[in-house]
Amino acid sequence: MTVAADAVARDWLHSWNPDGLGRYDQVRVEDDVRESLQNVRVHRPTLEQRKQMLELSAQVGVQVTFLGFPAASAAEREQCAALVGHLADKKLPQEPVLMARAVAADVRAVLEIQQQQSAPVTADLYLSSSPIRARVENWSVREMLERLKAMARLAAGEGLDFRIAFEDSTRTPPGYLAPCVKAALDVGAKCVVLNDTAGDCVPAGASRHTEFVADLIAKSGTDTELSWHGHNDKGLALANSLAAIEAGATLISGTFTGLGERTGNTPLEQLLVLLVNAGTPRYDLSQLVPMCELIAAATGVEIPTHLPVVGADAFSTSTGTHATAVLKARALGPDFEDAVYSAVSARRLGREQELLLGPNSSRPAVSAVLDAMALPVTGDDIDALLAHCKQHRRTLRTREDILNALGFVTDPSGPPPSGTTLTSGVRSENRRTV
């Protein structure tokens, strides 16, 4: 089959995924930095790093940022206040959220920041609704609801926007959850937040849970927003978020690289790629790698190399048949190269398909890599490097790895090393081995 010169890769692709945006176009995204910093391995970022994170997440297109819990400590309160002020000073288009328990001191801490910075803030008033949490803490859900209503009245009376989050809502039975949601709607919460706190849900459960609450909101006649916050204990945080969207959630909370307590949360970079792929135009995917790299540098938690979208190996292959197909696709154009073995566009992320050399590599891949390095090699050198790859267990990841494997050495008769000359691994006794 001949490919026309003006052909594009999408003309040759079929997808079983649904067409159109569906509910995806209604979705806003929240970066829960507070959650990221609950991971046990993080280093607390400096205030300047936090400000950089805010600015970059705004460039990505994130609409809501959960900054922290000001009642936790004086230092936390000071940083939250500075970040709210930074959002206002820079006119960043993000809604700041601060956490508060159903305790007057917590609500006042948020109020003080709003007044101090002369900038609007949303309080996240939370209630643990599940029977197991109530049993462990010896709480009465009814008493907690009364306290929550009192704090909502306090917030409303002071002009403080608030939302109500139900911790462990996905393990709360309907008979408990319905009155909790009704109370939140009655006191004027701008948003109801569902929390899969223990990461218990599978997608069908996330869908049923979200649909149940969405129906309560619809019957109330209010325009209350419905948010989903999920954890990844079963490896289903992203899938559950998509299920929640389909069931009516319009705000999805997550974290960049999925960093959060225990096994983490919905990875925002992956969610945003899916939203853009569905046709949502409001996010800048080219900023995802810088955003995640900043998070990694600021927290000391490295990005896993195999992580989709932003991992170092997300667009790498050393497998012979795959690499050869990528090379053939490259000859047809960059969109073919990007699509033949990837469902995510590397170019849209400011990345590219990368060919590495290892035990499964093919001769065309070796030739292409050496050609890209502009090395003065012969056919024998290509064969020698391919043989080296087949005989060793690890992938050659760097230019130096390849030079060493080929037997490039500095010329002993010349000046101090300013370049390299080739001594073939087949021909030289001075060959450097790996």
Q: Which of 111, 140, 108 is nearest to 127 (CA)?
A: 140
Taking each helix axis from N to C terminus, what angle separates 363-372 and 320-332, rounded to the nearest 10 degrees? 60
pLDDT at 104: 95
pLDDT at 408: 63
Q: What is the mean pLDDT of the chain?
A: 90
pLDDT at 7: 63
pLDDT at 429: 30
pLDDT at 152: 93
Q: How confident is residue 21, by pLDDT bands cut at 50, 70 and 90?
A: low
In this predicted structure, which of 16-30, 101-115, 121-135, 156-170 has the lowest mean pLDDT?
16-30
As beta bridge partners, residue 191 has 225
Residue showing tokens 């600015």: 55
Q: How confident is residue 415, by pLDDT bands cut at 50, 70 and 90?
A: very low
* C-alpha dihedral (256, 259, 265, 270), degrees to nearest 10: 30
User: What is the DSSP secondary-structure string of 241-290?
Assistant: HHHHHHHT--EEEEBGGG--STT-B-BHHHHHHHHHHTT--S--GGGHHH
As a whole number of angstroms, the distance between CA 172 and CA 158 comes to: 31
Task: Say if CB 232 and CB 254 are below 8 A apart.
Answer: no
pLDDT at 414: 39
What confidence tens digit (pLDDT) does each residue in 297-345 have?
Answer: 999 999 999 999 999 999 998 888 998 999 999 999 999 999 999 999 9
**396 φ/ψ sector (left φ>0, alpha ψ -120 to 50, else beta):** beta
Residue showing tokens 């994170």: 53
Q: How confident is residue 250, by pLDDT bands cut at 50, 70 and 90?
A: very high
Task: Say if CB 406 and CB 381 are below 8 A apart.
Answer: yes
Cβ neighbors of 387 (< 8 A, separation 6 or more) are none
Work out the average pLDDT over 123-140: 91
Residue showing tokens 């009516």: 248
**Residue 40 pLDDT more than 70?**
yes
**Residue 412 pLDDT more than 60?**
no
The encoded tokens of residue 225 equal 């927003």
For each of the domains in the chain, give its residue range(s) and CATH number, in order of start: 24-299 (3.20.20.70)
**Residue 47 pLDDT more than 60?**
yes
Q: How confident is residue 416, by pLDDT bands cut at 50, 70 and 90?
A: very low
Give the phi and the psi of residue 418 in degrees, each rounded to 5: -125, -5
Per cent of the chain over pLDDT 90 is: 73
As beta bridge partners, residue 163 has 124
In this predicted structure, which of 298-312, 389-403, 407-421 has the lowest mean pLDDT?
407-421
pTM for this predicted structure = 0.89
